[in-house]
Amino acid sequence: MAEAAHIEVRDLTMAYGDFVVQTGIEFSVKQGDVFVIMGGNGCGKTTLMRALIGLQRPAAGTVRYDGEDFWSVAPEDQERMKRRLGIMFQGGALWSSLTLAENVALPLAEYTGLPPGRIAEIVSFKLALVGLAGFEDFYPSELSGGMKKRAGLARAMALDPDILIIDEPSSGLDPLTARRLDDLILELRDSLGATIIVISHDLASILAIGSDSIYLDADTHTMIPTGNPQQALLHGDPRVRHFLTRGAA
Amino acid sequence: MTKAVESSAAGEAGQKLETRRVDDGLLVALSGRWCLDQTLPSREIVERELSAVVRRLTFDATALADWDSGLLTFLAGVLKACAARGVAVDQDGLPEGIRRLLSMAFAVPEQKVALRAAAGQSLLARVGAATLDLIRGAPAMLGFLGEITLSFLRLSSGRARFRASDMWLEIEQVGPRTLPIVSVISFLVGLILAYLGADQLKLVGAQIFIADLVAIGMVREVGALMTGIIIAGRTGAAFAAQLGTMQVNEEIDALRTLGIPPVDFLVLPRMLALMLMVPLLTLYSGFVGMLAGLLVSITIFDISFFEYYNETLRALELKHFWVGLSKGTVYGAMVAFAGCLRGMQCGRSAEAVGEAATSAVVTAILLITIAASVMTIVYYQLDI
């Protein structure tokens, strides 16, 4: 893969008008990490993701990719930085007027200049990786929710990004498909050296794949650094253990 | 005895593909950087070597540097070619990461699906398919009409389940918010009618009859037609998009599961709103059109205000208003019917919502035109 990805978030505040969703968010992600952002419903996980991927300007703070502050550079530099990111949205966010193959091919056609034959091979391989070999000509409306999600991951991987940001990978999937997706995420990290940020509240998935994590608290609107989720489950902050044990601890 | 046949291909950035035949085996040696941003060697080089003699394929990737999907797709192609020829593949020579990704890609067998109807059908086949679609669409349209009729019957017996607030909301959308566009269009159409009439009537020195032409034309026909078409574009499309989006979000399914007829809850308030407001807008449109005629007559054709006023009063009879109002009501119903029908028939994607909105406008304008023709003939025959 290309240069080492390194993400650093400092003193970030996310707000909608006067309503502060989260404040004082600080974390850094090393290359090859599977970094999990966890928290209950409405705690601001997706809002934080939108700040990381350039969809929503934070009220304060910085998001640095390899030392370059995303929100203070020129728009063309932001575009260049965005191309390093592969993003899988919660519901897949596939373009409904395009087939699966066209969905995955679009970023390749836009940014690589590869001949159509090569693009078709890459598209088929990416779809096969997420278990959707043979579904190239299907439209998103013909797929189940879980298939859309997996196709969304195939599209996110289209350009071999060195940072993958994945919103709720396993919610809405059956346990076996969820496990397969978790395995794929780890595989992408191990094989391609990708850095992965996962936004999730799925406990099994968090514990299976997370190497580092933060917990966003919806009540205090602040974060708790939690480190390795497995360790957090045993020795973490009581609020985090309460979350990770489904209220048992 | 070992017989070695070698061939090699090199790319621009040091990536190299070498094949070496050893007895019944083929060794594929990969070296250098295999990434998508370079021109990579073609896998056909390997495929050419996969002759009947080759039984086993092995890899040597000790000199492989950087790699990405470029190498993975190359290898996936090679593996497929080997599988097709019954050649055993030993992946031990490949880096572990590549082996694992390849095994994931081949873990789920390719879905064999029926080939879709070819896009390149003949013109005749497409015309046939379109005609069949049209014919199949007719029962759906009649079925929907039946549902609406039943819904109106429930309304008349006080059993229809809808929220009056929804209807008032629609009335606000269709009524006051449509006034500006109806005003502008009606004024301009009145103006055109006056000019058109004046041009012909001055030949016989009868310019005063501009008032008759504009008054009867606007009140009986043009006011309703213009309003109908404006409402079709503005409100019919909105109805289809609203109901279509509700279809996508499974909101209509949720109503059904609760036992609430979607036609009562969603279609009835929209239908009532349009059937109430379009006639009123038609009246308003006629009035604005007459004002435009007055303005043109006074300023351009030297007809005084009182002459024009008296001529208009003389020309207009109550029946003209009834004709205009009845047409407005029918056009309103047509627009609501087309918008709601297309919205309820909408598929479950963003594209389908767009198609529903477009189709609603086309259907509404078609229905309005048919209704206008039928009503004009009927009223003429009845001497109304």
A4 part of contact set with chain B, CB < 8 Å? no
- Chain B partners within 8 Å of A121 (Cβ): 73, 76-77
Burial B351-367 (b: 16+ CB within 10 A, else e): ebbbbbbebbbebbbeb
Q: Which residue has the tokens 């269709």?
A: B174
CA distances to A72, A237, B190 from A159, rounded to whole Å, are: 25, 38, 59
A-interface mutation test, from B35, B108, B112, B346, most A Cβ less than 10 A away: B108
CA-angle at B350, arms to B347 and B352, nearest 5°: 35
Fold of B4-105: Transcription Regulator spoIIAA (3.30.750)
pTM, two decimal places = 0.72
Q: Do B112 and A134 touch (CB under 8 A)?
A: yes
3-state secondary structure of B19: strand
Q: Do A96 and B351 touch (CB under 8 A)?
A: yes
- Chain A partners within 8 Å of B108 (Cβ): 128, 131-133
Q: What is the DSSP letter of A158?
A: T
> Where does chain B have alpha helices with state H?
44-49, 69-85, 96-105, 123-156, 164-174, 179-201, 210-216, 223-231, 237-248, 251-257, 262, 268-299, 305-315, 318-344, 350-381
Residues A155/A141, Cβ–Cβ less than 8 Å: no
Domain ranges of chain B: 4-105, 140-381
* Neighbouring-strand partners of residue A225: A214
Mind telling me how many Å the CA of B32 is from chain A's nearest CA? 14
Residues B239/B263, Cβ–Cβ less than 8 Å: no
- Chain B partners within 8 Å of A138 (Cβ): 113
Q: Do B351 and A133 touch (CB under 8 A)?
A: no
Per-residue model confidence as pLDDT tens digits over A37-58:
998 888 999 899 999 998 889 9
Interface A-B, measured as beta-carbon pairs within 8 A, has a size of: 79
ipTM beyond cut 0.85: no
By Cβ distance, the residue of B68, B69, B110 closest to A133 is B110
Both tokens of B86, joined, read 């019954």
By Cβ distance, the residue of A97, A139, A190 closest to B97 is A190
Tens-level pLDDT at each residue, chain B (384 residues): 344 445 566 655 677 888 888 878 888 888 888 888 878 888 888 888 887 678 888 999 888 888 888 889 999 989 988 888 888 899 998 988 888 888 888 888 877 764 455 556 788 988 998 888 888 888 888 999 999 999 999 999 988 888 888 899 999 989 899 999 999 999 999 999 999 888 888 888 888 899 999 999 999 999 999 999 999 999 999 999 999 999 888 888 888 877 788 899 999 999 999 999 999 999 999 999 999 999 999 998 888 999 999 999 999 999 999 999 999 999 999 999 999 999 999 987 888 899 999 999 999 999 999 999 999 999 999 988
- Domains and their CATH numbers in chain A: 1-84+162-249 (3.40.50.300), 94-160 (no CATH)
- Chain B partners within 8 Å of A185 (Cβ): none
Question: Rounded to an integer, what distance in angstroms lies between the CA atom of residue B248 and that of residue B166?
Answer: 20
By Cβ distance, the residue of B72, B113, B349 closest to A134 is B113
Chain A residues 222-241 with a CB less than 8 Å from chain B? none
Please give the biggest Cα pair distance in chain A. Answer: 56
Q: Which residue has the tokens 């008008």?
A: A17
A139 part of contact set with chain B, CB < 8 Å? yes
Both tokens of B123, joined, read 């013109």
Q: Do A137 and B112 touch (CB under 8 A)?
A: no
Question: Rounded to an integer, what distance in angstroms lies between the CA atom of residue B52 and that of residue A36?
Answer: 51
* Closest to B235 (Cα-Cα) out of B300, B315, B174, B291: B174
Q: Which residue has the tokens 């304060």?
A: A60
Residues B337/B271, Cβ–Cβ less than 8 Å: yes
* Closest to A94 (Cα-Cα) out of A159, A47, A142, A149: A149
- Chain B partners within 8 Å of A97 (Cβ): 349-351
Handedness of CA B221, B227, B231, B232 (dihedral sign): positive
Q: Which residue has the tokens 């409904």?
A: A96
Q: Is the pLDDT of residue A2 over 60?
A: no
Q: Higher confidence at residue A162 or residue B52? A: A162
- Integer-rounded Cα Rg, in Å, for chain B is 36
CA distances to B29, B153, B281, B325 from B224, rounded to whole Å, are: 79, 27, 8, 8
Residues A119/A108, Cβ–Cβ less than 8 Å: yes
Q: Do B100 and A187 touch (CB under 8 A)?
A: yes
AA letter at B174: V
AA letter at B77: G
Q: Could you give the count of Cα atoms lying within 13 Å of B210 in the half-sphere of its Cβ? A: 36
